[in-house]
Amino acid sequence: VISLEEALHRIDATVRVLPPVLRPLDQALGTTLAESVACDADSPPHDMALVDGYALCAVDAQSLDGRLRVIEEVVAGETPRLTVAAGVATRIMTGAPVPPGADAVVMVEQASSVDGPWVRLANREVKVGQNILRRGTLAARGSCAVAQGTELRPVELALLAQVGRSRVLVHPFPRVGVLVTGSELVPVDDVPAAGKIRNSNGPMLAALVRRAGGEADSLGIAGDEAELLRHAIEPALEADILVLSGGVSAGVKDLVPAVLESMGIRPVFHRVRLRPGKPVLCGVMEDGDRQVVVFGLPGNPVSSYVCFELFVRHAMRRMAGFPARPPERVRAQLTAPLSHRGETVAFLPARIDESTWPPLAEILAWHGSADLPSLSRANGLVELPAGERRFVAGDDVAVLRL
Ligand code: AMP
Ligand code: MG
């Protein structure tokens, strides 16, 4: 039996990042970049007007009477042909290249056109460089546009597009097989006979996989017989991660650990000082460059849920190239006193109210790790460290958001 930290540490030490794949930008959102991408040109590529107005020479505005002759009009996408000299200006639109000779742009709102090609400046205080973004100010050609390892958000997709990359190398999210085990389980559409229950973990775990960014493959139900399990697990090892539910505790029909071991899956850990979820198991099979990480989650729905969020999601993120970081917690204050005693860290379903500061955490009544209705009312799990402690209302606790 190991600590939660040690279990996460072993996952970090075991799980390898998936090899990069080339993806079009519209399929790259949320992935991490597997290469560093450089700017193919200066940005902006030319001295650029930041406003609609008049490009001119700043000293002119002060020395002359503020009247300038407009010699040309340049819109974004065009190149100016004429040089701006004393007494003249070019009508210019946002984004257009600043003509040679000009060193400032006066906003159109600060100029009024007078008869014919003449324009008069309302304000003759014009500064050199005003309303111009100099070539290369945002990024120089050859500099890094987006660094390897960066999570691609919409803004990074824009940066990649700006430097001409319609496809980029990214680490894909893993394909995750979900196989539930238990001879008591029947498919969701069946009416359970005496002693049987419906498979609720299957849909839940597949949804957790998808919510974490992965591709879920639902592999059905396997009964609690070594042969049946082996038969169902064998083809499931095609995935990057295989999630099993049930059969990892100490019952006579908890055969998953032995079956996995007989199939050559190396144990990474089995049993973590954690409630709910203590029997959780992790193993790995390596075949050259290929790796399959197997998780055996306890079958109790709340245990399965908590272990997925703590361990499977962590492994998925590692495979997808995200930095090793423990699952994120927020802080909240308990709304009621609470005594906690135990050798394990405990996660309790709670209602978190984040409309106040600090947020409040109301621990919900619950009947243990089969209590899905209580988990459904919860929007967080309060984490209580191992040991004996009396909490009073207002005490600060860590919360895992659901
Ligand atoms: P196990 O971990 O196999 O000992 O199962 C613990 C409890 O979870 C038992 O009450 C099981 O019936 C229940 N359980 C196991 N698998 C599922 C599942 N896929 N859906 C709903 N409940 C399950
Ligand atoms: Mg079972």
Q: What span, in angstroms and rounded, lies between the C-alpha atoms of 331 and 325? A: 17
DSSP state, residue 139 = B
Ligand 1, closest atom to CA 200? 20
Nearest CA to ligand 1 atom 10: 300
Q: What is the model's pLDDT at position 24?
A: 98
Residue 169 CB-half CA count within 13 A: 10
What is the chain's pLDDT, residue by residue, as a tens digit (402 residues)? 999 999 999 999 999 999 999 999 999 999 999 999 999 999 999 999 999 999 999 998 877 788 899 999 999 999 999 999 999 999 999 999 999 999 999 999 999 887 789 999 988 899 999 999 999 999 999 999 999 999 999 999 999 999 999 999 999 999 999 999 999 999 999 999 999 999 999 999 999 999 999 999 999 999 999 999 999 999 999 999 999 999 999 999 999 999 999 999 999 999 999 999 999 999 999 999 899 999 999 999 999 999 999 999 999 999 999 998 888 899 999 999 999 988 899 999 999 999 999 999 999 999 999 999 999 999 999 999 999 999 999 999 999 998
Nearest CA to ligand 1 atom 5: 299
* 299 touches ligand 1 (CB under 6 Å): yes
* 251 touches ligand 1 (CB under 6 Å): yes
Ligand 1, closest atom to CA 181? 16
* 283 touches ligand 1 (CB under 6 Å): no
Q: What is the model's pLDDT at position 61?
A: 84
Q: What is the model's pLDDT at position 66?
A: 83
* 307 touches ligand 1 (CB under 6 Å): no
CA of 11 to the centre of ligand 1 (A): 24
Q: What is the model's pLDDT at position 39?
A: 98
The closest ligand to the CA of 248 turns out to be 1
CA of 375 to the centre of ligand 2 (A): 21
Ordered DSSP codes for 268-303:
EEE-BSEETTTT-EEEEEEETTEEEEEEEE-SSHHH
Best probe residue, ligand 1, of 188, 201, 253 (max atoms within 8 Å of C-beta): 201
Q: What is the model's pLDDT at position 325?
A: 85
* 255 touches ligand 1 (CB under 6 Å): no
What is the SS3 string spanning 157-217? HHHHHHCCCCEEEEECCCEEEEEEECCCEECCCCCCCCCCEECCHHHHHHHHHHHCCCEEE
Best probe residue, ligand 1, of 181, 245, 252, 306 (max atoms within 8 Å of C-beta): 245
Write the CA distances from 357 to 161, 333, 337, 354, integer angstroms.
Answer: 40, 9, 19, 7
DSSP state, residue 102 = -
CA of 224 to the centre of ligand 2 (A): 7
Burial 383-400 (b: 16+ CB within 10 A, else e): bbebeeeebeeeeebbbb
* 249 touches ligand 1 (CB under 6 Å): yes
Q: What is the model's pLDDT at position 176?
A: 98
Q: What span, in angstroms and rounded, lies between the C-alpha atoms of 237 and 193? A: 31
